[in-house]
Each structure stands twice: as C-alpha cells, then as structure tokens.
Amino acid sequence: MGETEWLIIVAVLGVVALLFLVMKAKLQAFLAIILVSFVVGIAVGMSPKDLIATFEKGMGETVAFIAIVIGLGAMFGEILKVSGGAERLALSMINKFGEKRSSWALGIAGLVISIPIFLDVALVILMPILYTLANKTGKSLLYFGVPLLAGLLVAHGMIPPTPGPIAVASILEADLGWVILFGLIIGILAMILAGPLFGSFISKKIHVSVSEEMSEQAAAIADLEERANENENQKELPSFTSVLSIILLPLILMLLNTLAPFMLEEGSVIRDILVFIGHPYAALTITTLLTLYIFGTKRGYSREEIQRITTKSLEPAGIIILITGAGGIFGEMLVASGVGDVLASTMEKAQLPVIVFAFLTAVLLRLSVGSVTVAMVTSSSIVAPIISTMTISEPMLAVIVIAIASGAVIAPHVNDSGFWMVNRYFGMSVGDTLKSWSVVGTIISFVGFVMCLIFSLFLM
C-alpha cells in the first residue's frame, strides 16, 4: 500500500471514528475530536514533538480569534434576552406588519433575533407569542411557527456573530464582512421560501392546535403585551428602535471594515478608522459596552446584576469555543500529516468543485452527528487543508463558509436536540415534526447551496 492510499484511509477512518464516538459512544464532541486528532497524527507517523506542536498551533490559531468574538457576542446577546429585547422586537414587528402579514413579521424577527441570541433560547422566549397568535386567529400553530423557525435557523447557521459561521470563518480564514454580506443575501431568500411561503402551505396540511398549557403561556404574554402598550408601562420592554439598532450595529461596522478598502484610498484617516472599528474585536466590544449601558445600567440593573448576567452568558460560549478549537486541531493535523494535499488532489481528479465538496461534507456530518455547530466546525476542519492548496478570493471564501452552513442545517431529525424542542413546544407527533421542521431545514439548505453555486460562477 502506497503512502497516498494510506493517508486517504486514515482520513476516512478518522471521520468514521469521530462519528462513532459522538453518536454511539456519546462522548462529548470536544473530547472526541481531540482523541481522533491524536489517533490521526500517530497513524501517519508523526513524532510526539510534532504532534504536540500541531495541537498547540491548531488550537492557538483558531481560539485566538473566535474566543474573543464569541465571548463578546454571548454577553451582548444575554443582556438583550433578559431585558426583553427579543419580545419587543417580535411584538413590534407583528404590530407594524399587521396580523394578516404576521408570518412575514415573525420570519424577519426570527432572523434578526437569532443573530445575538442562541436559537434554542430565542425559541423558548418567543413561543408564547406564537400561542397567542394561534389562539386569536384559530390558525395552525405552524402558520406562525414555521416562519419564525426559518428565520432563527437561517441566522443561527449563516450570519455572524452567531457561533457557527464565526467558527467556520475563523478556520477557513474568511473575512467576516463578506460572510455577513452573503449570509444576509442568501439567508433572506432562504427564510422567505422556507418561512412564510412554506409555512402557509404546511399549515393547511397539518393543523396544530394550542393546548391548555400553551394557552396559559399565551395569556401571560398577552398580559405582558397589554401592559407594555400602556403609556405608564412603556419601560417594561426596551424600544424597538434601540433593540434593532444594537443588533445591526456590529454587522454594519464589520461590513464597513470590508468595504472601506474599496471605497477609500489607502492612507485615508477615515478608512483607517472604519477598518479599526469594523474589526470584529472592536465592533463587538463597542456593541457589548453600549448594550450593557443601554439595556443594563439605564434600565436599573446594578453592577452586580450585570456582572452575574454576563458571567452566566459565557458558560455556553465556553463549550462552543472549545469545540471550535478542537476542530482547528483536527484541521491542522490533516494539514501537517499531508492528508489535506491528498484530499485536494483526489478532489481535483474527480473534478469535484470545492464548494460541492464542502456542502456534501457538511450534509453528511449534520445527518450523522445532529449538531449544526459540530457539523460546521468539523466540515470546515476537513475543507481547510484543501483550501490551503488553492488560490481563492476573499468573497469566494465567504461563499464556501455559507455553503458549509447550508449543508449543516439540512434535515434536522431525531439525533438533533433542536428537533425535540420543536416537537415538544409545538405539541406535534414525530411524523409531523419531520414533515414540518425537517423540511424547513432542508429548504434552507438547498436554497443556500444553489445560491452559493450561482455566486461561485462569478467569483472563481
């Protein structure tokens, strides 16, 4: 057996071992990736010294960026959550669009809210609003729920500073401004097709009623809405403008960072300022500090309360950072061992475009592992060594990030915790959850992939 064949076998067995450890052995993803990385390095004959050096390089280069970004993003998202920002945004959107177009309002609200707030948390917060609307109109809960779910899933997978795209962009060394731009363009289209349009269709096929327990939650949110609309109680929820502005601020700053070199001449003071404040570190620091002041201090939270809230927000962020760092180690191991070169050569001989390979890899891992974030991190770790052998433009790198995200959101099913959350909160059977929620993810996935293919025709 030649060296090339052995490297391919090692790569394949490494992925198989990873799937086994996560799916069957139920080993935590961070530990599973670390263990497989060790095995891959030993299998290809790396010395102990090189093995440790590869670990340090992979973890260090990856975590150095994403730890700061994800940590800051988690803090400003948590403050928005506890201050009622998510509820205010959703209620105001519904009010502005009107009840007849509330499904569109919920799709847009879900897309915006899930940028700073984790998908599962946003769903729990907003479910009572869906119950209220379903009770008022007598329509299927899916009519309102599917658009919201589509918006949440699109932002969760495609739009920084959510952890998934941040992690993939870090591993592939893609510019976040381009990722945000393509994520928004592709994500909005995917949300429309998988949200209001599919929601209108599937709600006529599956009627989901609001249970007695759900009705109690609906009554609670209806009371909150009524009190928030009274003049003397307007401060119960933050203003719609302030919530929308603070969520969009880091996106706008990071987009300016990307576009400034194209709009302004080198040496321009304004260009230097835009590049600085638009860097993810600066953009998210500015946003987090403003969030702490506007939604924390100004709304009566004490310093101790703010410290407790922000500290608590870092708990889930820490898990994501560690998993992403482990993914960086796995990717670096593939590069150092020469597997990346072999995979690139094999892919070239098979005439498989890198964007197709990236999407299919993410699909396989998503269907196998379940977790969107783990699928994205692992996929990018496999794709990164291939990309390192190629010359790819910054915009095209961003498109590959979205292609991976598209593959990683496909067909949520029984091995995904989010599947069971939707199943429980909507009170559906497993079959109806597959026909609705799983199809939402699949529509988003294929719309994203097709759009990435179209963009790649102009960017290669």
- How confident is the chain (460 residues) per 10-residue block, as mean pLDDT? 75 82 82 89 87 88 81 86 84 84 90 84 81 85 93 91 87 91 95 94 89 62 53 61 90 89 86 91 92 89 89 82 83 77 71 89 84 85 84 92 94 81 85 92 96 88
State CA 204 to chain mean position distance.
30
Q: Nearest CA to 205 among 146, 142, 127?
A: 142
What Rg value do the Cα atoms of the chain yield, rounded? 22
Distance of CA 76 to the CA centre of its chain: 16
Indicate the pTM of the whole model: 0.83
* Helix, strand, or coil (residue 89): helix
What is the model's pLDDT at position 197?
95
- For residue 264, the surrounding DSSP H or E stretch is none
Tokens 């400003």 belong to which residue?
76
Numbers of helices and strands, H then E, in the chain: 22, 0
- Confidence at residue 71, expressed as pLDDT on a 0 to 100 scale: 87
Q: What is the pLDDT of residue 398?
A: 94
| Cα angle: 83, vertex 86, 87; to 5 degrees | 90
Q: How far apart are CA 58 and CA 81, in angstroms?
A: 33
pLDDT of residue 233: 41
Residue found under tokens 């990435």: 452
Amino acid 319: pLDDT? 81
Q: Note the pLDDT of residue 234.
A: 43
